[in-house]
Amino acid sequence: MRTGKVTLKTLVERTGLSLGTVSRALKDAPEVRPETRELVKQMARQLGYTPNLGGVKLRTGKTYTLCIVLPVDTRAQDFTDSGYMALTSGIHKALQGTLYSLIVQPQLMDEDELAGLRHVVEAKVADGVILTQTRPDDVRIRYLLEQGMPFVTYGRSELHTPHAWFDTDHEDMAYRATRRLLDKGHQRIALLNPPAHLLYSRHREYGYRRALREAGLPQDPALMTASELSAADGQQLVLQLAAQPDRPTAFICANEYAALGALSAFQQLGWQAGRDACLIATDDSNISAYFVPPLTTYYSSLVDAGTALGQLLLRRIAGVAAEQLQQLTCAELLERQDDRWPPQGAVLSQRAGGS
């Protein structure tokens, strides 16, 4: 059994190929025949070969590091940031088999949003950046475009200069959710939306309004809310909406944390989901399947989103044009409740009122 570190020379000895051919095969050079590239890679895997990353960095000038900038709200006392673990897991999945690794740059909500990003760029900490929670005119995107730093965003912007992005079609999601509830008999539908400065919040509102407009129903501002979408926010907003004289019969929550808070509010009100009001959510971890009762959701995998973001950024670093690196996906309906109104065979709670 071979002992010691496996080097390029080891691969040369075992394959009988030249040093140049082995080196180019490991880099997927197109001038090396596919069968030769596979032979070298198979031998490298078999022997446990790993390149000397320090030497590679010196030769190429690259860090072989990607950085994701994650907004962190230090005021939050619940688990609203836990979805980022799934996102970073997906990115890591995309980097497997490459020399790249991932680091996280926290962006505190109360600090200059460019401070951490400037450090990453000016100190050459990473070869590429991933941004989340995009805005229509996002100063972070403008900065990275000006600096010529490869990047991809989780979410779109309204800037004229194209950039790489991956996004869920939130307008379509909100439209379908609202349309489904309308078809089930609801007319007073509340929208619990993300903060209004985020672009996907606007997209959700566009879809919600479009469904109401097509149904010939008024677009009541009193039924449209925006918050940080923590469980506490969801609870408070549902309690406020339930106090309206003509209260909602259905609630669309933009994430599962707000939906969890909404269920807590239902309990305080003496309501039962599906009997006194209906509740659906956008779900990115499938945890809504374990709520009591399980909720109908529009599911979009954060792991898959992270994988797509990692792949797009690697291609951007490789020189692929930003216009070719823009992907939009649609959420999947997971129907766990009937959600019709009025519910068949149900007697409304006296505290729930009528509609």
Q: Is residue 78 included in any domain, yes or no?
A: yes
Using a pLDDT cut of 70, give the percent of the chain over it.
93
Q: What is the pLDDT of residue 351?
A: 40
Please state the rounded mean pLDDT for residues 328-333.
Answer: 97
354 pLDDT band, cuts 50/70/90, is very low
Q: Which residues on neighbouring strands pair with residue 300, listed in sequence order?
A: none
Q: What is the pLDDT of residue 280?
A: 95
Q: Let me know the angle formed at the C-alpha of 243 by 299 and 237, rounded to the nearest 5 degrees.
A: 35
Are 308 and 294 in a shared domain? Answer: no
Give 343 or 322, the one with higher predicted confidence: 322
Are 148 and 293 in a shared domain? Answer: no
Are 188 and 285 in a shared domain? Answer: yes
4 pLDDT band, cuts 50/70/90, is low
Are 273 and 313 in a shared domain? Answer: no
What is the widest separation between alpha-carbon atoms in the chain? Answer: 83
Q: What is the pLDDT of residue 60?
A: 78
**Element (DSSP H or E) covering residue 235:** helix 231-242
- Per the structure, the count of domains in the chain is 3
Are 294 and 277 in a shared domain? Answer: yes
At 162-183, the pLDDT tens digits run 999 999 999 999 999 999 999 9
Q: Is the pLDDT of residue 287 over 50?
A: yes
Q: Is the pLDDT of residue 304 over 90?
A: yes
Q: Is residue 74 included in any domain, yes or no?
A: yes
Separation of alpha carbons 323 and 210, rounded Å: 28
Q: Is the pLDDT of residue 350 over 50?
A: no
Q: What is the pLDDT of residue 98?
A: 87
Q: What is the pLDDT of residue 90?
A: 97
At 50-86, the pLDDT tens digits run 877 777 777 778 999 999 999 887 665 555 566 789 9
* Averaged confidence pLDDT in the chain: 91
Q: Which of 284, 255, 282, 260 is nearest to 87 (CA)?
A: 284
Q: Which residues on neighbouring strands pair with residue 225, listed in sequence order?
A: 192
Give 12 or 229, the one with higher predicted confidence: 12
Question: Which residue segment(s) compose the domain that 160 sits in?
Answer: 65-165+302-324
Q: Is residue 313 included in any domain, yes or no?
A: yes
Q: What is the pLDDT of residue 293?
A: 93
At 206-218, the pLDDT tens digits run 999 999 999 999 9
Q: Is the pLDDT of residue 149 over 70?
A: yes
Q: Residue with structure tokens 């690794």?
A: 101
Are 243 and 320 in a shared domain? Answer: no
Q: What is the pLDDT of residue 345?
A: 59
Q: Is residue 140 included in any domain, yes or no?
A: yes
pTM of the model: 0.85
Separation of alpha carbons 134 and 140, rounded Å: 9
Separation of alpha carbons 226 and 237, rounded Å: 9
Q: What is the pLDDT of residue 52?
A: 74
> What CATH number does the domain containing 291 carry?
3.40.50.2300
Q: Residue with structure tokens 């004229």?
A: 160
Are 106 and 226 in a shared domain? Answer: no
Q: Is residue 29 included in any domain, yes or no?
A: yes
Q: Is residue 335 included in any domain, yes or no?
A: no
Using a pLDDT cut of 90, give the percent of the chain over it.
73
User: 355 is written with which tokens?
Assistant: 């509609």
At 227-267, the pLDDT tens digits run 988 999 999 999 999 999 999 999 999 999 999 999 999 99
Long-range contacts (CB closer than 8 Å, 24 or more residues apart) made by 95-99: 95/66, 95/310, 95/314, 98/314, 99/51, 99/53, 99/56, 99/64
Separation of alpha carbons 52 and 331, rounded Å: 42
Are 215 and 313 in a shared domain? Answer: no
Q: Is residue 87 included in any domain, yes or no?
A: yes
Q: What are phi and psi of 161, to 5 degrees?
A: -75, 125
Separation of alpha carbons 255 and 232, rounded Å: 13
The number of beta carbons lying within 10 Å of the beta carbon of residue 118 is 12
Are 204 and 236 in a shared domain? Answer: yes
Q: What is the pLDDT of residue 77?
A: 54
At 78-122, the pLDDT tens digits run 555 667 899 999 999 999 988 899 999 998 877 888 999 999 999
Q: Which of 337, 338, 313 is nearest to 327 (CA)?
A: 313
Q: What is the pLDDT of residue 55?
A: 74
